[in-house]
Structure 1
Amino acid sequence: MKSMSRVVVLWLFMMGVSWGQNSDLPIRGTNTKYEQGDWITYGQTRFVTSIALGQQFVYFGTTGGITRYDYWKNEWEFPFTISSGLADNSIKTIAFDENTSLLWAVTETAISVYTPSSEQWANYFLEDRGVTAHGDIVAIGFTQSSATFEFNDGYLFSCSNTGGWLRPYDSNYDGQNIQWAGYHQAPKGEYPHYFMDPGYFFLLNGTIQDDRLHKAPITVRLHDKWFKSWIGSWGMGALLGNTREQQLSFLNYGLFSRDVRAIALDKNGLWVGGENRNTSSIQDVNLAGLTYWNQVTEKWLYYESDFIPNLITDEVNRMTVAGSNLFCATRFGLSIFNKRQNEWTKLTTFDGLNHENIFDVAVHNGVAYVASEGGLNAFEIRALRTDTLEVYLIGGDDLKLSRVLDIEINENLLWAATDYGIYVYNIEEDTGGFVDDVNGPVGERITAVTAFKSEVWFGTSRGIFPYDIEKKEWLGLPEKNFSIDALIYEMAADKHSIWAATDQGVYKLNRRLRNWVHYTKQDGLSGNTVRAVLLDGDYVWFGTPEGLTLFYWNDPNRVD
């Protein structure tokens, strides 16, 4: 038994694996291994449930976390989500206690308390407190020494104003009036005759309507002493009303749709898409759309296929930026947006594509290579929107019979991840074939591929296989990793590290230390199913069904 233990320890040492925490455990609070802001998740925050006014921020409780608007600087700060330490992102109600300067939130599963001085969240799970039989918490109130919670069956429970165990409320406990938030902030009384941006109308019944007949009811409003009305809607996000000028303005922030599986950077900002259901109601949380976050102007723009003829669908598998063009690989064809001309174009099987379910696009020397369920196609980008456009086949009939799930171009070689192994295509020589080196994953399903300099990294059902083109050899342990028992969706590589997005979190190879690190929700991911990864200098972006997560991976003061 002792010798077996030594073998296991030696094997783990050779693999260089550093396992993360148990990803299934509830999030009890902020992970003190990281600084505030090391992990940030941007979610779908168009659905506002509550508002609280603090000493610096207006807080909006939403279905995608707590957004924070700095009313002194008139700008958004990063939101609070499970990446910050919240138990979950579905916020039922929030409140700010002026006595203690603590921010309180009720989520789907817990009561959460944020202490600004320590920049930490603490979560008290409702199941642990034995109060779930009373239904949802609908309001939070404060006295000088306690916090009180009203449930929708009318019962009141209270605890210390710094957190702790709930107890039935005793009205004689401190004899002071409770200052309530929550549903007590629900819109009451008449609204001003607000004017809005062109294309939007404010109806006096408390509903916002646009010229596409989308309607979003007002869910909550809060007046401050500066004659401002902070307003939340169900479907169109947060708004700011000036009661003197009777002007109502949008404070757009966050993703249009929650599910993220496609991320791309251009010179000004970030494109985000995913697999979200098409529906006609702006009040439906599953309404699909693409998001563009202009990080220069800090504007969030949204694109819906229902109103853009050549945006085939909002269900995007992958995004690629090349020059002024954005390529959206969708399950119904390829949609291309020319940002300079503000024009969309589409390509389908009618234009010569082998299949309409597109998995990836790569661009090299003005040619776009399209990976699909029917193999690999290519076309010259300059021929788009002309009669000379020709879509041609790459790889012949052999590749046409295989799904190409991911492609990567390394100098003049195109590497394709297929159901039947690795296919490599020499662009200059117009030749290609399947890799049959027995030291590699011959005949296996390859799900992801990435490259850096002379290295090409492949994600397979058996783990990760790296290949050095110059040395013409497969790398060994710990770079080769058979311990990742997960479906690898996408990979990214640079001189510092290798990243693998999987259905069980994210794995990173630290090149210098030659060890693998495993990240999960316990670290700060918005979900353990990670469909997209994109390197951005000292930061890395991840796409999950719960949103878009940014990680400051290169903090010099932290060792993972």
Structure 2
Amino acid sequence: MSVMRTSLENRSRTVRFHLRWTLAVITILFGSIVPIAWSRVGDWTTYTNTNFIQDLHFLGDDLWCATSGGLLQLCLADESIRQYTNVHGLGYIDVSSLSVDRQGILWLGTNGGGLSTYDPFSGRWRTYTEFDGVAGKVVSAVLASGDRIWVGTEEGISLFVWNETEGDYFWKENYLAEKGVPVKNVRAFVDWEDQIWVGMDGGVARARYRHPDFVPNLQDSASWTNYNESHGLAHNRVNCFSLVGSTIVAGTDGGVSAFPESTWVSWSLGLPPSTAVYDLLVSGSKMWAGTGAGLYMYDSIWVPPPEWIPLLEGEAITALAEDSSGVMWVGTEGGGVIAAHGQDWVPYIAQGPAHNNISRVTLDDEECVWITTRPPSYPRYRAEPCRLANDHWTTFDESGGFEKGEFMPALFVDRLGRKWFGSWGFGVGVLDDGGTLTKEDDIWLHLDEENSGLKGIPQNTRYVVVTDIAQDQRGNYWFLNYLGIESGLVVCDSTLSNWTAYSVRDGLVFTEVQSLAIDGQGIKWVGARQEGMSRFDDAGTPFDKLDDDPFSAWLTYSESEPYPHTIVTDNVTSICVDKTGIVWIGTAAGIMRLSGLSFYSVSGLLNESVNVIAVDARNNKWVGTEGGVSLLNAAGDEWTHFTSTNSQLVSDNVLDIAINERTGEVWLATDLGLSRYESGIAAPVSSMEDVAVFPNPFFPEVGNGLVTFGGLADGSTVFIFNLTGDLIREIPMPQNNLNQAVWDGKNARGNEVASGIYIFLARNEQGLSKVGKVAVVR
């Protein structure tokens, strides 16, 4: 103990003079401490579109929405919107259905992660999977009815029942098609007079689950009665149910059918022919139908059959709900929620990307995030570019005549800050936003087969596909012109006036080109979907083919003969050049690195099907695969893996990666949304002016009990002093390239420090330093 005291006293004398000026010029005011919003290393954030509504349910004054991008809560009291994703505890991001049990707990069916529950009163989440009895990962229907929870999946039905002793619901049994029960691909339920009615892709099934004389066995196929189009159903695909008195009404992909007695009859008069009906709702004497063609209403349900009246045409209405004031709320396919306030329909649209299938992601010089999306259906929706700036999303649905098509495989920001979008079929769109966030300043340019050197495909010369874009050291732009006629690799100068195309005839490996990289020597590396990869050295004269050396200008790397330089597979999906100039190749069968003319396979990947490789500020490699993300350290001897199971990554299918080298943020584009990971692996800093303390004030009993000092220079040490200048803790920065150090609120003896203001000094051996204050509140 005495040795420690002596060491601290000596250290205190050494650094005390650094604090003299600090205590003289800094006025310490408890009220002057302002909390700083800062993400911690290891934190995840999910960004999704929550405007594709799949189910609605009111609980008090809150409207809960099942969406393809998570769970959405709309509070009517203040019209605030809150989104819940996998980061909060949701088992899977795509929520297909929801129901509320008698305890007020939300039961959520998901399209890939089983069943989740959320208690809005306690904030508790639970997930039920196949290990918990749920009959499959895809849950398309949930109904909480009395002491039972009915769960519909692709394989059949799972039943949860209330246990009074335990005060909870527990799985009881499954009714599976593979066991002979005639239920499969379940889409809807209704519980009426002790019978469960089931809507499926193959019609309707019903069974009595409670009888006064015996206990029904629903695992016996004889307990079930089935109906389909031969029994009068409008369509075999049944999406929803409602009740009109004692009459079961079903919404199908072909209209509305009712079951007044023993057979099904049509209730589709007034609906467009073959209209899909997604939801039905009865309110007083009115009945509402949400359809693929819009919202329809029937004014007198007691005088069947109905004749439907159109109210909102042209908008796909997927869900219906009514609040306690009688206001009708409708969920749409992409347009959020719409409420009928008097004669006006008021939309409520949540912030987010245009779609959840994120094709590409990149950052501009202002650290705005840019993405391209792939819509769920085309041509109903387009592959809109989107920007995230200051936590606000902007969708560029108007782009100066640039038709964006169904897919944008290329996204690039040039040295002038212009954004380049390569489309599947419509050439290239170039956005000059003038460095502002207002669309009024935007100038769009469209490059196609008429005004550029880009070429269409043999089947359609106007159909121009561009799969990747890059810029060389001279400012020339390079394009991969997929299947272009007598094209493949295209270059133009910075004025966009001089164009040259390279094809298989020149030495390009194949026309189905998909990945491009340019190394420090100006060598172009081109990966193809077949036949491998090309290396092209234009000798600094890209617009002059005559000086290209026939023996060394083009080299082909393939697993096929007769090429001498072999790679593991010919499907090259990604090429990346690291900080030391080494070329890394991602393929459908793993990754390789190229040193000289030799390829070296790199083992240890989480999944061999590689989509993208990215390099961070410390030369670590981030590999996005169909099974998650694998991180290889700079030394090449240690892997770290991230999946949707062991982390809060929104989906395992990682399509693209962008890295903010200043902050260490890693942006991951997936087929289910955009994930942001706070890796903390940032570039070395040359100044400590931006050192920040978070959280500040520091409440040790809240969160993980640590306060972080961020933005430190390499080799820094943080010294903590009390207001009298006594050194109470010395914290060396870990050797992990995170530019951070953490303090647990304790002194050097391991005792908790008292509430109050403390001074910190961050300093490294090169003389960089920063002095500040942190408040501890217990």
Q: Report the TM range for the smaller structure's normalisation.
A: 0.3 to 0.5
TM-score normalized with structure 2 length: 0.34
TM-score normalized with structure 1 length: 0.46
Relative contact order (alpha carbons < 8 A, sep ≥ 6): 1 or 2 greater?
1
Determine which structure has more spread, i.e. the larger CA radius of gyration: 2
